[in-house]
Amino acid sequence: LRIGAMTRQAKALASDVIRDRLPLLHQALWNVGHPPTRARGTLGGSISHADPAAETPMVMMAYNASMVIAGKDNERIVEAGDFSLGTFETCLEEGEILKEIIVDMPRSDEGTGFAELSRRRGDFAMVSAAARLRLNADGTCAEAHLMIGAVAPVPLRCDAVAQALVGTEPTEQRLREAVGLIELDSFTFDNPEVSLAYRRHIAPTLAFRALAQAAGKASGLHT
């Protein structure tokens, strides 16, 4: 699926294709600001702004999306994980813009989950979590992905959690054990509004919620 960088967030949210084929993006967009924000903001703008609390860059990393970058004389493609370099910093060089986002269509038997904590609906996230999960026919986990946002300069990919789930049945107990593997030492954001200690405290809970949503949806696709 190819998405133009100038696609308005509201248009993406209203898209049946996004809802049906990229449900994690659809879930996340509901948490982006307010209707006026989504009506004016673009997907490419959010990704290029590289705000660590933004939902869209994290989701694109969860989907392993590719970014098409256009310069004056050429184009290049980078993976979403290599696009954001830090807080409000990307790999875009002078004279380059983000032109397009390419996302491989996920399998139809994949479940997704998204959880976020903010002071008020529409506020910037204190912590957010995005999950993708696919089950085998016997109910064990075939594939898992977990991202945590708003805790470091770029969204964190929790590979240890995902690896711990593969081959096991994603029961409540197993999910809670797995989120205990989140590398909390990788969290670096600490400010008077949301302390580092609080982010470390709440992140496993949000990760569990996102994974539980994903597991529940994936299970429903097998019934």
Q: How far apart are CA 223 and CA 220, in angstroms?
A: 5
Q: Which domains does the chain show, CATH number per domain?
A: 2-102 (3.30.465.10), 110-220 (3.30.390.50)
- Compute CA 196 distance to the chain's CA centroid, rounded to the nearest angstrom: 20
Helix (H) or strand (E) holding 45: helix 43-49
How far apart are the C-alpha atoms of 206 and 201, rounded to whole Å? 10
> How many other CB atoms are found less than 10 A from the CB of residue 196?
14
Give the position of tokens 């004279």.
95
Residue 221 has pLDDT above 90, yes or no: no
- What are phi and psi for residue 195, nearest 5 degrees? -75, 160
Q: Is 47 exposed, middle or buried (0-12, 13-18, 19+ CB in 10 A)?
A: buried
CA 122 to mean position of chain CA atoms: 17
Structure-block tokens of residue 151: 């805790």
Q: Give residue-wise pLDDT tens across range 58-112.
A: 999 999 999 999 999 999 999 999 999 999 999 999 999 999 999 999 999 999 9
98's tokens: 């983000």
**pLDDT of 222 over the 60 cut:** no
> Cα separation of 49 and 87, whole Å?
9
Label residue 169 exposed, middle or buried (CB < 10 Å: 0-12, 13-18, 19+).
middle
- Total-model pTM: 0.94
Confidence at residue 124, expressed as pLDDT on a 0 to 100 scale: 87
Q: Give the number of other CB atoms < 10 A from CB of residue 4.
A: 15
For 202, counting Cβ atoms within 10 Å of its Cβ (0-12 exposed, 13-18 middle, 19+ buried), the class is: middle
Spatial distance between the Cα atoms of 182 and 101, rounded to a whole number of angstroms: 28
The tens digit of pLDDT for each residue in 32-45 reads 988 999 999 999 99
Phi, psi (deg, nearest 5) at residue 119: -65, -45
Among 49, 97, 107, which Cα is nearest to 76's? Answer: 97
Assigned token pair, 202: 């709440």
Query: 135-194: per-residue pLDDT in tens?
Result: 999 999 999 999 999 999 999 999 999 999 999 999 999 999 999 999 999 999 987 788
